């Protein structure tokens, strides 16, 4: 560390400081974006984790695979009916039936699956207005809602099933009238209705899987954005600290000239960029706290001596104070956690009453309960 205690900052050093401050500002902006992203990501990650835990025994994937297979079979056996209704694009009706089946399955699944009710209970508990409600009341509300939805779903389920059955009978009657077939309505003609029923039952978890996939993709993008912003903050912070060190070497007077809060934060983050608590100590913006520095100054003979010190910390905070006549100094720094004094200048009068200025470098932790004993030359 280089401190130019007495001389004003050079033009070159001021230019380097401006670059350092700009880079630190970019790092702090990136850190804020990372924090904002994390605030979205954290609850969504917890939600996805709980969903997977609750639905782990619901056989979501096998049901959905069966749904896809049954949809294909249902269209294969029902395509003639769809051609009768919409010759130009029978597949439109097939897609419509699939969509309707998913809607009906979602209306009915709450009554048919305890996993789904448990998932809804987990989500309802997260609603702020339900925080004071007893769990039994929340569960009763869920049961009431799923019963209503089941009634609506069952009504639609029956109506669509009857319609498919009706159109299937009508198609057979027209084919017999046209002389295309001789056999009457049989079991094979009921297959469209059967596959429709199976389609609804197999589709109980399709909507859940869709929501889960959307949430998983959203979380993936948030994690990617979070990592990107953390890396931006890290690289800009490192560059900012390098430029500030260069500014000091070129004559920037850190003690007399202003040091922006961006730079203070930059040195704090630079210290913690490789820690295991990177989100807490690197991305988060810490609160400043009052930290004390206690020391006892003695001359070369070991006699306590009154001094005035100008101190500079690792995060570039500065303070000045004069000790009492017993050489004891107790000064405070409004700084970020885990700061420490790296360099200070001591001014005192020796035994010959001559003014002496002494520079001391080292690592002096703040909030030290036992005063440092510093022997002057």
Q: What is the pLDDT of residues 320-347, one digit of tens each?
A: 999 999 999 999 999 999 899 999 999 9
The model's confidence at residue 274, banded by pLDDT at 50, 70 and 90, is low
pLDDT in the model for residue 182: 62
Please report the beta strands in the chain, taking only residues with DSSP state E, as ranges in sequence order.
Answer: 289-298, 308-313, 318-322, 328-335, 340-349, 355-365, 372-375
The model's confidence at residue 5, banded by pLDDT at 50, 70 and 90, is confident
DSSP-assigned letters across all residues of 302-322: S-B---EEEEEETTS-EEEEE
Least Cα distance to 94 among 203, 199, 202 occurs for 199
pLDDT tens-digit profile of 247-266?
A: 999 999 988 888 999 999 99
Outline where 250-367 has alpha helix (H).
261-272, 278
pLDDT tens-digit profile of 142-197?
A: 999 999 999 999 999 999 999 988 888 877 777 777 666 666 676 777 888 898 99
Least Cα distance to 204 among 117, 112, 120 occurs for 112
Q: How far is the C-alpha of 314 from the C-alpha of 266, rounded, in Å?
A: 11
What residues are paired with 308 via a beta bridge? Answer: 322, 347
Answering whether pTM is above 0.75, one says yes
The mean pLDDT of the chain is: 89
Cα atoms in the Cβ-side hemisphere of radius 13 Å centred on 204: 21
The phi and psi torsions of 326 (rounded to 5 degrees) equal: -90, 5
Give helix 114-125 / helix 11-54 axis angle, nearest 10°: 140
The phi and psi torsions of 319 (rounded to 5 degrees) equal: -150, 155
**Average pLDDT rounded to a whole number, residues 344-358:** 89
Exposed / middle / buried, residue 130 (Cβ in 10 Å: 0-12, 13-18, 19+):
middle
The model's confidence at residue 267, banded by pLDDT at 50, 70 and 90, is very high
pLDDT tens-digit profile of 46-95?
A: 999 999 999 988 899 999 999 999 999 888 888 878 887 788 888 898 89
For the beta carbon of residue 262, count every other beta carbon within 10 angstroms.
Answer: 19
């Amino acid at each position: 560390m280089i401190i130019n205690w007495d001389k004003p900052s050079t033009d070159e050093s001021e230019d380097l400081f401006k670059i350092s401050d700009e880079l630190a500002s970019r790092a702090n902006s990136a850190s804020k974006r990372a924090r904002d992203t994390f605030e979205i990501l954290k609850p969504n990650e917890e939600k996805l984790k709980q969903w997977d835990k609750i639905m782990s025994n619901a056989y979501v994937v096998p049901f959905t695979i069966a749904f896809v297979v049954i949809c294909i079979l249902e269209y294969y056996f029902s395509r003639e009916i769809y051609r009768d209704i919409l010759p130009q694009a029978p597949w439109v009706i097939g897609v419509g039936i699939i969509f309707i089946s998913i809607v009906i399955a979602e209306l009915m699944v709450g009554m048919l699956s305890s996993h789904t009710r448990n998932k809804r209970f987990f989500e309802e508990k997260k609603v702020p207005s339900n925080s004071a409600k007893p769990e039994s009341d929340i569960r009763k509300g869920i049961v009431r809602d799923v019963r209503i939805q089941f009634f609506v779903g069952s009504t639609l389920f029956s109506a669509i099933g009857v319609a498919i059955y009706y159109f299937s009978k009508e198609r057979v009657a027209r084919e017999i009238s046209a002389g295309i077939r001789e056999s009457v309505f049989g079991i094979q003609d009921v297959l469209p209705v059967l596959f429709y029923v199976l389609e609804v039952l197999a589709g109980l978890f399709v909507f859940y899987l869709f929501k889960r996939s959307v949430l998983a993709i959203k979380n993936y993008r948030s994690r990617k954005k979070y990592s990107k912003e953390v890396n931006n903050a890290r690289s800009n912070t490192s560059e900012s600290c390098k430029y500030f060190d260069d500014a000091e070497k070129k004559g920037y007077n850190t003690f007399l000239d202003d040091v922006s809060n961006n730079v203070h934060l930059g040195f704090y983050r630079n210290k913690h960029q490789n820690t295991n608590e990177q989100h807490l100590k690197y991305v988060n913006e810490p609160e400043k706290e009052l930290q004390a520095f206690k020391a006892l100054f003695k001359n070369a003979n070991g006699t306590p001596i009154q001094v005035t010190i100008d101190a500079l910390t690792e995060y570039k905070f500065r303070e000045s104070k004069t000790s009492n006549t017993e050489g004891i100094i107790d000064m405070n720094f409004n700084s970020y956690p885990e700061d420490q004094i790296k360099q200070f200048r001591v001014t005192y009068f020796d035994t010959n009453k001559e003014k002496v200025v002494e520079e001391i470098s080292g690592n002096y932790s703040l909030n030290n309960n036992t005063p440092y004993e510093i022997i002057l030359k």
